[in-house]
Structure 1
């Protein structure tokens, strides 16, 4: 492990573990969006747009583009989770993107051509909670990991282990 904790085990910083878990969920959702049965009305899936009738778990509108975005978010998240700073950037930046998407979903008409993702009410509220959750993980776990690292550095500076 290097002094910054970069590229060492996932457990070296809690924000890296969280980003890895969130990335795994995005990847899983992207894959599930292409599985008939898990995605209802699969035959009605379009590449993009509100015309897609496919629904992930029968609740969330999906399209081929929507599923690809989930897959890409997962891949980017795994790449950024290799460092604590990258993991934080993925969680906070991704959370901001999802909050912008939530606002976008609130202001557009669900049946307009502007609804290219496609979005429905369930998607909108999922995006809101996902955005808040990702930002919270990025901020809170970054602080948590920073205090853990500071404590471990001071322990080494004072001659090693505490306690025994």
Structure 2
């Protein structure tokens, strides 16, 4: 990954944060309360603020792993950021409009999901589309003339 691959670098950083949060969700002290597998049965709170469960933590770990895998290419990194934005927008809508039966979601989670959706979409926009190879001429001439 070189200096000219900002999309890949950003995707790796975002994916690493998801992996870290997924791990911290299992660490006693960082996560307080009784950690259930899924649903409202989980009383666990990450940092004392965000509702989590085993399933919630596994989703963070999976998203981080997918992000690292997709960051192997500039296009994959952009797909991860745009796809992650869409997923978090859907989670925000799910938390606001629907009953959060499968994954525990509270108001702090809803705000975080909205922030993540906007942040990942913004990062995807900022890093732009993948660049052309430097071996491809920008303005090919007709008939091979230079």
Report the counterpart of residue 129 of structure 1 in structure 2.
115
Report the counterpart of residue 144 of structure 2 in structure 1.
none
Q: Equivalent residues in 2 for 1:3-14 (5 A)?
A: 9-14=1-6
Q: Equivalent residues in 2 for 1:78-117 (5 A)?
A: 78-109=68-99, 114-117=100-103
Q: Secondary structure, in 3 states, of the residue corresponding to 1:11?
A: coil
1:142 is the counterpart of 2:128: yes
Distance 1:82 1:130 in 2: 22
- Cα displacement string for residues 13-36 of structure 1 (whole angstroms, at most 9, x for unaligned residues): 111010000000000000000000
Detail structure 1 runs of 4+ shifted over 4 Å in the superposition. Answer: 152-155
Deviation (angstroms), 1:115: 2.2
Distance 1:10 1:81 in 2: 13
Q: Equivalent residues in 2 for 1:3-82 (5 A)?
A: 9-41=1-33, 44-82=34-72
Distance 2:2 2:12 in 1: 8
Computed over aligned residues only, the root mean square deviation of the Cα atoms, in angstroms, reads 2.1
Deviation (angstroms), 1:10: 5.0
Give unmatched runs, 5+ long, in structure 2. 140-146
Distance 1:101 1:95 in 2: 10
Distance 2:35 2:135 in 1: 53
Q: Is the 8 A contact 1:54 1:61 kept in 2?
A: yes
Count of residue correspondences: 139
